């Protein structure tokens, strides 16, 4: 994207809401209120929100809550969710045991094939 | 808000954000420019979280010791964010005679510089951390080292500085610095925006080289990719920071319960990254094999995420800090060579002091830009 984003732009004050205690990221137990507050702390991108609060950093890696978080952040900033780039998806796609992840060389020796 | 300030900071990583913070604390007027879309987007949020003194070059040791004594213990309270700082010691592990020699050399130099660090044998290592395998035969042990959360610490500096009135802009990629009447004054961005300041701090990681080049300064450093991974949350096992003699593996267990480990495949510099910090397929499995040799108990721990990042590797392994004789008005703060996180508060605080008062409590002369010479 690389559009200039002035972090001093006035987005108004943080106004507490009645639904602020709703859990949005269930893996890491982050509430709507925490996400809204983080926006007022200056976290204006999905990547910054994730790094600051851990939303989407749990077992599901944001596959459940990413859209919800994005909608909350966009609303707080007064912009369209389409303007927010999603946080980077990381390898592996599913949590995988260290002994299995580590095993690519051993498998190669056994069956003589790459990548199995 | 205008485009002029007393000080323009180029780079919104932990170094740039922390310098902005410590400058604002001293009453200075600051603009901080980040080239990417996110603050803390480079090594600042991709590192292993070490806050250590042991294993460091004696030239940068006083600076990190200053930070660990005076800044780190109070940082969470000061920034109003949980930095997750733990000061429970650092074990730098060895398995071979060669490792022992490396560790002994590092330890002797650090002791000379006044650091409380000593060599211990394998049994003592396992008394401190009972999960380590029998393969570990020695370690250096520095009880005042530790670790912290790079994400909350970096963004904490950003948050606190922003609250104090620092003007932060992301997506504002600096392409040129320009002198006016022999003194550095202007910062020109790809957007076409021009910023002006009396002092310009260059803290843009490895990209500092190209930017410094526009005023005729060449810092001998290059990007080098490093990789890391994190496990799912595990029950609490240990609180120390860990490293190895070969510096091929390091990590700790976080407050969250997950283990963050960094490492390498030995193929660094020759991997196919296509210009993006994308993980190389061979690295994470290699890190896993390394971890399991040290910690057999972690074999069943699940990896949930892997990532990569570039460090700004300086030719002699220590950062380039302070004024540059040829360019009045310029302050360099780059070249941290992959261990810039732990030293960041100390370095940033002292550079802010240099900018606002003209002197520093910690002697920075060994880290100046004029140290680079050809060998003959």
Query: In this complex, which of A8, A52, A104 lies closest to B1 when CB atoms are compared?
Result: A8
By the 10 Å C-beta count (0-12 exposed, 13-18 middle, 19+ buried), A19 is classed as exposed
pLDDT of A115 strictly over 70 = no
pLDDT of residue A105: 66
Of chain B, the end-to-end C-alpha distance in Å amounts to 51
Q: Do A51 and B162 touch (CB under 8 A)?
A: no
According to the 3-state scheme, what is the secondary structure of chain B?
CCCEEEEEEECCCHHHHHHHHHHHHCCCCEEEECCCCCCCCCHHHCCCCEECCCCCCCCCHHHHHHHHHHCHHHHHHHHCCCCCCECCCEEEEECCHHHHHHHHHHHHHHHHCCCCCEEEEHHHHHHHCCCCCCCCCEEEEECCCEECCHHHHHHHHHHHHHHCCCEEEECCCEEEEEEECCEEEEEEECCCCEEEEEEEEECCHHHHHHHHHCCCCCCCEEEEEEEEEEECCCCCCCCCEEEECCCCEEEEECCCCCEEEEECCCCCCCCCCCCCCCCCCCHHHHHHHHHHHHCHHHHHCEEEEEEEEEEEEECCCCCEEEECCCCCCEEEEECCCCCCCCCHHHHHHHHHHHHHHCCCCCCCHHHCHHHCCCCC
Question: Region B285-294: what's the mean pLDDT?
Answer: 93
* ipTM, 2 dp: 0.95
pLDDT, tens only, A58-111: 988 898 999 999 999 999 999 999 999 999 889 898 999 999 999 876 655 555
pLDDT of residue B169: 98
pLDDT, tens only, B20-35: 999 999 999 999 999 9
pLDDT, tens only, B103-143: 999 999 999 999 999 999 999 999 999 999 999 999 999 99
Q: Where are the domains of chain A?
A: 23-88
Q: Do B304 and A95 touch (CB under 8 A)?
A: yes
Going by C-alpha positions, the residue among B174, B169, B173, B172 that lies closest to residue B214 is B174
Domain A23-88 sits in CATH at: 1.10.10.1100
pLDDT of residue A106: 62
pTM assigned to the model: 0.96
Q: Do A48 and B303 touch (CB under 8 A)?
A: no
pLDDT of residue B111: 96
Q: Do B169 and A59 touch (CB under 8 A)?
A: no
Higher pLDDT, B168 or A105: B168
pLDDT, tens only, B79-97: 999 999 999 999 999 999 9
Query: In this complex, which of B41, B171, B190 lies closest to A1 when CB atoms are compared?
Result: B171
| A104 contact residues in B (CB cutoff 8 A) | 282, 285
Q: Which of residues 130-159 of B touch A (CB under 8 A)?
A: 151-152, 154-155, 158-159
Query: In this complex, which of B159, B189, B306 lies closest to A90 when CB atoms are compared?
Result: B306
pLDDT of A112 strictly over 50 = no
pLDDT of A113 strictly over 70 = no
By the 10 Å C-beta count (0-12 exposed, 13-18 middle, 19+ buried), B214 is classed as middle
pLDDT of residue A116: 42
Domains of chain B: 4-49+151-220+316-371 (3.50.50.60)
What's chain B's length in residues?
Answer: 376
Return the residue in B35, B170, B233, B266 with the most chain A beta carbons within 10 A, the one to mutate for interface testing: B170
Query: In this complex, which of A5, A43, A103 lies closest to B155 when CB atoms are compared?
Result: A43
| A25 contact residues in B (CB cutoff 8 A) | none
pLDDT of residue A2: 67
pLDDT of residue B269: 81
Query: In this complex, which of B40, B159, B303 lies closest to A92 when CB atoms are compared?
Result: B303
pLDDT of residue A107: 54
| A1 contact residues in B (CB cutoff 8 A) | 37, 171
pLDDT of B273 strictly over 90 = no
Q: Do B171 and A43 touch (CB under 8 A)?
A: no
| A59 contact residues in B (CB cutoff 8 A) | 232, 304
pLDDT of B231 strictly over 70 = yes
- Other beta carbons within 10 angstroms of residue B238's beta carbon come to 18
Nearest CA in chain B to A104: B285
% residues pLDDT > 90 (chain B): 92
Question: Region B177-189: what's the mean pLDDT?
Answer: 97
Question: Region B191-197: what's the mean pLDDT?
Answer: 98
Q: Which of residues 38-97 of B touch A (CB under 8 A)?
A: 38-41, 45
Query: In this complex, which of A52, A61, A95 lies closest to B151 when CB atoms are compared?
Result: A52
Higher pLDDT, B355 or B279: B355
Work out the mean pLDDT of chain B and round it to a whole number: 96
pLDDT of residue A104: 73
């Amino acid at each position: 994207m690389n559009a200039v984003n002035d972090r001093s732009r006035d987005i108004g004050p943080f106004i507490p809401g009645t639904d602020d205690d709703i859990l949005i990221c269930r893996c890491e137990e982050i509430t709507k209120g925490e996400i809204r507050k983080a926006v007022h702390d200056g976290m204006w991108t999905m990547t910054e929100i994730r790094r600051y609060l851990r939303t989407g950093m749990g077992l599901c890696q944001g596959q459940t809550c990413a859209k919800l978080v994005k909608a909350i952040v966009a609303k707080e900033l007064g912009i369209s969710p389409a303007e927010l780039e999603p946080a980077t998806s990381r390898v592996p796609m599913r949590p995988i045991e260290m002994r299995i992840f580590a095993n690519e060389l051993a498998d190669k020796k056994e069956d003589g094939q790459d990548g199995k | 808000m205008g485009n002029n300030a007393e000080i323009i900071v180029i780079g919104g990583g932990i170094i740039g954000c922390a310098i902005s913070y410590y400058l604002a604390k001293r009453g200075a007027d600051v603009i901080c420019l980040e080239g990417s879309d996110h603050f803390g987007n480079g090594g600042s949020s991709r590192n292993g979280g070490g806050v250590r003194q042991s294993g460091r070059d004696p030239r940068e040791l006083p600076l990190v010791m200053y930070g660990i004594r005076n800044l780190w213990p109070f940082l969470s309270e000061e920034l109003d964010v949980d930095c997750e700082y733990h000061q429970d010691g650092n074990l730098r592990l060895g398995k071979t005679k060669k490792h022992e020699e490396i560790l002994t050399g590092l330890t002797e130099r650090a002791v000379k510089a006044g650091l409380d660090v000593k060599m211990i044998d394998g049994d003592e290592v396992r008394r401190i951390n009972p999960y380590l395998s029998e393969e570990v035969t020695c370690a250096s042990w520095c009880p005042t080292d530790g670790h912290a959360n790079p994400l909350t610490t970096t963004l904490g500096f950003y948050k606190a500085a922003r609250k104090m009135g620092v003007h932060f802009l992301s997506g504002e990629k600096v392409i040129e610095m320009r002198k006016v009447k022999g003194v550095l004054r202007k910062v020109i961005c790809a957007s076409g925006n021009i910023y002006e300041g009396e002092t310009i701090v260059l803290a843009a990681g490895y990209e500092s080289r190209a930017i410094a080049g526009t005023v005729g300064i060449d810092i001998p450093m290059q990007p080098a990719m490093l990789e890391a991974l994190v496990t799912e949350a595990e029950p609490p096992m240990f609180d120390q920071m860990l490293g190895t003699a070969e510096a091929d593996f390091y990590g700790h267990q976080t407050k969250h319960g997950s283990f963050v480990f960094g490492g390498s495949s030995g193929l660094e510099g020759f991997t196919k990254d296509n210009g993006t910090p994308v993980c190389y397929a061979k690295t994470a499995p290699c890190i896993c094999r390394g971890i399991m040799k040290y910690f057999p108990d972690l074999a069943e721990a699940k990896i949930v995420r892997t990532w990569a990042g570039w460090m700004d590797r300086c030719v002699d392994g220590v950062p380039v800090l302070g004024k540059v004789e040829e360019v009045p008005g310029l302050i360099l703060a780059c070249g941290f060579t992959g261990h810039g996180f732990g030293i960041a508060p100390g370095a940033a605080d002292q550079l802010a002091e240099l900018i606002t008062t003209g002197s520093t409590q910690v002697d920075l002369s060994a880290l100046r830009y004029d140290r680079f010479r050809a060998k003959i």
